[in-house]
């Protein structure tokens, strides 16, 4: 009997999820034993036409990381969706847009302008811009269309499971693949490889539920942080109260505030607005002017609120009209 097939793909991502798959170390041998890996751009030399040649539904599992930023990524997402039975949004970018989705504060024109003209390191006297189609002596060269907006995987194709993290922690990756190998699958739509509460539940720091913040502080400007106490109560923006558990509190254990890569907790639709509410809750003032002053010490609420979730946030992107 032939082995079940596994496909892995990366779209708009940094490659960290791919590396985290390799980080399972020798367990990758069990995976390769159980599965026939048929597509994995970072690890194996298969081409798109190999995938196109497969029968629909022939691949059991597709682990898709990265957001959808251009036409090629959308095309491959749709192709793999046809070929696979179980589609897993692997990592924060596939789940909700991730870091690339912070590009939703701008549009294509603004991004190209910055990347090809105005960034200080750019030397582009001829004002060359990438074109979707260019004529050269050898024929026509084409590039995929770059979208104005970055999309999460499930905004392009249906997704069975969501596996959060930037990247997902290794034990969770192993557990998810083992679950698929066991054949005992959770209901479609489930978040897999994570907890259901918040990072605060896993955080070893002492919390007092007291309002005591008179100003918010950037981490690199703090030299007096108490390593045993809640970061938020010390005025450092920590996404723990708005973020799903499952990572084991790795960042907060080493004096690093949670950045929110495990996404919204169970039952929460918008991680960012939950963080906004949590930040407001530690402000120590009942005077509107003073509250405003304290809020003004946070320069970029959007960046904190939607560092990993802009595509799936309630408003998805900044306004481009009016």
Partner 1 sequence: MAQFEPRIVAFLCRWCSYTGADLAGTSRLKYPPNVLPIRVMCSGRVDPTFVVNAFRKGADGVLICGCHPGDCHYNEGNYNMMRRFPLVRKLLAQFGVEPERVRLEWVSASEGDRYAEVVAEFTDEIRKLGPLEWAPMMAPPPVQTAESVVTAK
Contacting range for partner 1; rule: CB under 8 A; set: 31-39, 84-92, 170-178, 287-295: 287-295
Q: Which of residues 9-28 bind partner 1 (CB under 8 A)?
A: none
279 binds partner 1 (CB under 8 A): yes
Q: How far, in Å, are 108, 119, 126, 131 from residue 146 at the CA level? A: 7, 19, 21, 10
- How many residues touch partner 1 under the rule CB under 8 A: the total is 53
Interaction between residue 320 and partner 1 (CB under 8 A): yes
CA distances from 74 to 1, 11, 48, 71, 281 (A): 33, 9, 13, 5, 40
Residue 173 or 312: the one with the smaller Cβ distance to partner 1 is: 312
Residue 285 and residue 301: Cα distance in Å, rounded?
19
Burial 209-240 (b: 16+ CB within 10 A, else e): eeeebeebbeeeeeeeeeeeebbbbbbbbbbb
The encoded tokens of residue 176 equal 């998810």
Based on the shown chain and the rule CB under 8 A, indicate whether residue 68 belongs to the binding site for partner 1: yes
CA–CA separation, 144 and 150 (whole Å): 14
H/E element holding 292? helix 288-295
Residue 283 interacts with partner 1 (CB under 8 A): yes or no: yes
**Site stretch for partner 1 (CB under 8 A), options 1-9, 178-186, 202-210, 296-304:** 296-304
Name the phi and psi angles at 295, rounded to 5.
-60, -35
291 sits near partner 1 (criterion: CB under 8 A): yes
Q: Could you tell me the CA-to-CA distances from 203 to 224, 229, 253 in Å, in that order?
A: 20, 10, 7
Q: What distance in Å separates the CA atoms of residue 168 and residue 92, rounded to the nearest whole number? A: 8
Q: From 41-49, 56-64, 119-127, 162-170, give the range in contact with partner 1 by CB under 8 A.
A: 41-49
- Should residue 111 be labelled a site residue for partner 1 when binding is judged by CB under 8 A? no
Q: Is the Cβ of residue 179 or residue 273 nearer to partner 1 in the bound state?
A: 273
Of 27, 37, 170, 302, which lies in the binding site for partner 1, with binding defined by CB under 8 A? 302
Q: Which of residues 171 and 320 has its CB atom nearest to partner 1 in the complex?
A: 320
CB of 282 vs partner 1, minimal distance in Å = 9
Options 23, 30, 58, 72; binder of partner 1; rule CB under 8 A = 72
Q: Which of 42, 111, 156, 225 binds partner 1 (CB under 8 A)?
A: 156
Closest CA to 149 of 270, 65, 68: 68
SS3 23: coil
Please tell me whether residue 215 binds partner 1 under the rule CB under 8 A. no
49 belongs to the binding site for partner 1 (CB under 8 A): yes
Residue among 322, 321, 317 at smallest CA distance from 147: 317
Cβ neighbours of 6 (radius 10 Å): 24
Query: Contacting partner 1 (CB under 8 A), which of 30, 36, 58, 71?
Result: 71
- Helices 27-34 and 170-182 cross at an angle (nearest 10°) of 20
Smallest distance, partner 1 to C-beta of residue 110, A: 12
Cβ contact 115:123 at 8 Å: no
List, in order, residues 6 or more apart from 124 with CB less than 8 Å away. 116, 117
Residues 114-143 that bind partner 1 (CB under 8 A): 132, 142-143
Residue with smaller CB distance to partner 1, 4 or 301: 301
Residues of the shown chain interacting with partner 1 in the complex, contacts defined by CB under 8 A:
47-49, 68, 71-72, 74-76, 78, 105, 132, 142-145, 147, 149, 151, 155-156, 269-270, 272-274, 276-277, 279-281, 283, 285-286, 288, 291-292, 295, 298, 300-302, 305, 313-322
């Amino acid at each position: 009997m032939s082995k079940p097939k596994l496909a892995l793909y990366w779209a708009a991502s940094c490659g960290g999820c791919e590396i985290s798959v390799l980080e399972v170390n020798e367990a990758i041998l069990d995976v390769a034993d159980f599965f026939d890996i048929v597509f994995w751009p970072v690890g194996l030399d298969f081409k798109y036409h190999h995938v196109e040649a497969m029968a629909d539904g022939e691949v059991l599992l597709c682990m898709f990381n990265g957001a959808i930023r251009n036409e090629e990524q959308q095309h491959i997402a749709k192709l793999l969706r046809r070929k696979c039975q179980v589609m897993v949004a692997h990592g924060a970018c596939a789940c909700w847009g991730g870091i690339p989705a912070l590009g939703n504060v701008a549009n294509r024109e603004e991004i190209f302008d910055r990347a090809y003209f105005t960034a200080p390191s750019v030397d582009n006297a001829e004002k060359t811009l990438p074109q979707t189609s260019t004529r050269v002596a050898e024929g026509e060269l084409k590039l995929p269309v770059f979208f104005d907006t970055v999309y999460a995987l499930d905004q392009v194709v249906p997704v069975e499971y969501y596996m959060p993290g930037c990247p997902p922690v290794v034990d969770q990756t192993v557990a998810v693949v083992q679950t698929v190998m066991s054949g005992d699958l959770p209901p479609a739509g489930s978040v897999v490889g994570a907890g259901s509460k918040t990072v605060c539940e896993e955080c070893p720091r002492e919390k007092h539920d007291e309002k005591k913040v008179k100003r918010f502080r950037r981490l690199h400007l703090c030299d007096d942080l108490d390593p045993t106490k809640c970061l938020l109560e010390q005025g450092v923006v920590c996404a723990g109260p708005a973020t799903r558990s499952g990572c084991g509190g790795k960042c907060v254990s080493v004096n690093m505030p949670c950045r929110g890569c495990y996404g919204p907790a169970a039952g929460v639709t918008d991680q960012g607005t939950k963080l906004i509410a949590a930040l407001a809750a530690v402000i120590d003032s009942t005077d509107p002017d003073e509250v405003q002053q304290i809020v003004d010490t946070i320069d970029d609420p959007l960046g904190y609120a939607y560092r990993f979730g802009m595509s799936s946030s309630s408003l998805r992107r900044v306004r481009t009209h009016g």
